[in-house]
Amino acid sequence: MKKFTSNDLFYNTLLASPKYTIVMQSGSLRINDQINQNNEKSSSINGIDYNCTYEFEKYTGSYQYTSSISNTLIYSSSANGWDYRYSTYLSVKKIAVLKNIFSYYKAENHYSDLSYYLKNNGIPNNKLDPTIAKSTYDSNLSDAAFRRSFMIVPTCSIKLIEIPRDFYGNYIKPGSVTLNMYVSGTLSASATDTDKTGKIFQTYGSGSGNIVGSVLYDHGIILLTGSSALNTQQAPYIQPLSSYTASVNPVNDYLKWIYFGSYISTEGSAPETKYELIFQSTNFIPTITMMCHAEKNEMLWSNNRSFIEAGQSDELIFGQSTSSTNVTGGVYYADPGSFLIPSDNTYRENNLILIKNTISSSFPNYSASYEPQVFISQIGIYDENKNLIAVAKLANPVRKTKELDYTFKLKLDM
C-alpha cells in the first residue's frame, strides 16, 4: 500500500452538456425515445392531463428516488382571474413564490417580473376578512366567487413547466431550449430562446417573431404566456379538474402556446397533437485524477491463490495450543500455513511457503530460473482510515517484473 503525494493528485471540473428531447403525445411522455427503459405515466383526466408527471427510478434497492417533469395550466377565463374549475390555486401560488427568483433574470429579460404574471405584484387586492359571509359586502357574488376575490390573481393564462434538477443539472444551457408543436403530424409552431437571455421567441408558424414565454435557466422553469391562435381547428385543450368532470365540460379553443403539453387523446374528432421540448443541461462534475506508481522492485506480491505453489496452505490459525516443529523465532503448528510468535502473540506469514515460478522458458521440459512477477488486474483506492472506497479494473492485466515500473492514471468523479 502506497500513499499519494501532492504531486499525484489533480483536481478538475468536467463540464458536460447532455441533450434531452422530451416528447408528449397521446397520454404518454417519453425522454430521448426511451420507451421501455423508463416508467411512463399516462394521462388520466379525459385524455388531457395538465398535472401529468414523468417519473423514473434513479437508485435501486430499498430506497427509491423519483423525479418528475410537471406541466401545469393556470387558466384565466376572464378579467376576474383564474378559473378554479380548470386550475388549482396551488399553481397560482407557485408563480407567486418566484418573486425573488425573477429579480435574478430581470436585467436581461424584462418579462422576468412578477407583475407580468400576477396582478398587484402577487398581493390579493381585497383586504376584507374572507371568513365573513359574502352577503355582508356584496350580495351579487356567490360564496365561492367572493372568497376567490381574496386570493392572488393572475394577469393571463400561464403554462408552467417545471424541470427537476436531475435533468437540467446546474442550469439549462442558454440558447438550447426549443419547443415544437405538431398537429396531425405536421409542425404547427416552433419557439426557441435565440438571444440566450431567457426570452422565448416563436420562430415558426403564425405569429413568428413574438415572445411567447420565458425560461429561468438556473431553476429549470419555463413560463409560456403566448395566447395567439396557431391554427384554425379547435380542440378541447382546456379540461376540468377531476373534481369537476361531472359538472363542467371541456373548453374548445385553438392551439396556443399556453396549451403546450396538453395531452390530447386520439379518441373522438380532436386532432392528435404532439409536443416536443428540447434542451441541454449543464453539469459541473468535480473529478480527481490520481497517479498510482508501481515502481521497480515494488508491487511484486499477489493475494491470488495461484501465486503460490499448489498443495500448500496459507491459512492463519488462531487459538492453537500445541506445536510439533520449532521454527526460528516462533512455534510452528500442525497447519504449515502460519505460526504464532509467542513474544507479541501476533501472526506472521510462513516463510516456508513456496511461490509459484511463472517464468516461461523457450526450451521444452526446462524450468526457467525463478524471477518475481505478477499481473496487475485491479487497483484499490483507500481513504485515510484504510477503508476501500474505489476499485479500478484494467481491461487487460499488466505484467509487472522487478525491472519494470508503471504509472497508472486513474480518474474518479466526486
Are 318 and 278 in a shared domain?
no
| 344 pLDDT more than 70 | no
Is residue 91 a part of any domain in this protein? yes
Instruction: Give the chain's domain count.
Output: 2
* Stretch (H or E) spanning 186: strand 186-192
Is residue 7 a part of any domain in this protein? no
Is residue 140 a part of any domain in this protein? no
User: Domain range holding 246?
Assistant: 16-118+153-283
Cα–Cα separations (whole angstroms), residue 412 to 98, 180, 289, 376, 387: 37, 38, 6, 19, 16
343-382 burial by CB neighbour count: b if 16+ within 10 A, else e? Answer: eeeeeeebeeeeeeeeeeeeeeeeeeeeeebbebeebebe
> How confident is residue 126, by pLDDT bands cut at 50, 70 and 90?
low
Are 28 and 157 in a shared domain?
yes
Angle, alpha carbons 202-194-68 (nearest 5°)? 80
| 59 pLDDT more than 60 | no
DSSP result, 52-119:
---B---S-SS-----B-EEEEE-EEETTEE-TTTS-HHHHHHHHTTHHHHHHHTTT-TT--HHHHBG
> How confident is residue 308, by pLDDT bands cut at 50, 70 and 90?
confident
| 83 pLDDT more than 90 | no
Are 315 and 276 in a shared domain?
no
Is residue 327 a part of any domain in this protein? yes
pLDDT of residue 369: 77
pLDDT of residue 33: 72
Is residue 205 a part of any domain in this protein? yes
The whole-number average pLDDT for the span 129-150 is 52
Are 97 and 215 in a shared domain?
yes
Are 187 and 247 in a shared domain?
yes
pLDDT of residue 221: 94
- Burial group, residue 30, by CB count within 10 angstroms (0-12, 13-18, 19+): middle
Are 20 and 109 in a shared domain?
yes
> How confident is residue 361, by pLDDT bands cut at 50, 70 and 90?
confident
Are 252 and 200 in a shared domain?
yes
Are 192 and 88 in a shared domain?
yes
Higher-pLDDT residue of 240 and 322 is: 240
pLDDT of residue 316: 46
Are 88 and 40 in a shared domain?
yes
Are 275 and 292 in a shared domain?
no
| 201 pLDDT more than 90 | yes
From 283, 308, 338, the end of a domain falls on: 283
From 267, 283, 299, the end of a domain falls on: 283
Is residue 375 a part of any domain in this protein? yes
CA 253 and chain centroid, separation: 36
CA 353 and chain centroid, separation: 52
From 283, 301, 334, the end of a domain falls on: 283
Q: What would the pLDDT profile of 142-162 be if each residue is shown by its tens digit?
A: 555 555 566 788 889 999 999
| 339 pLDDT more than 70 | no
pTM score of the predicted model: 0.68
> How confident is residue 63, by pLDDT bands cut at 50, 70 and 90?
very low
Average pLDDT, the chain: 77
The whole-number average pLDDT for the span 62-85 is 71
Where residue 261 falls (left for φ over 0; alpha for ψ -120 to 50; beta otherwise) is left
pLDDT of residue 147: 56
Is residue 66 a part of any domain in this protein? yes
Are 53 and 34 in a shared domain?
yes
| 296 pLDDT more than 70 | yes
Are 273 and 340 in a shared domain?
no
Beta bridge partners of 211: 201
Is residue 94 a part of any domain in this protein? yes
> How confident is residue 321, by pLDDT bands cut at 50, 70 and 90?
very low
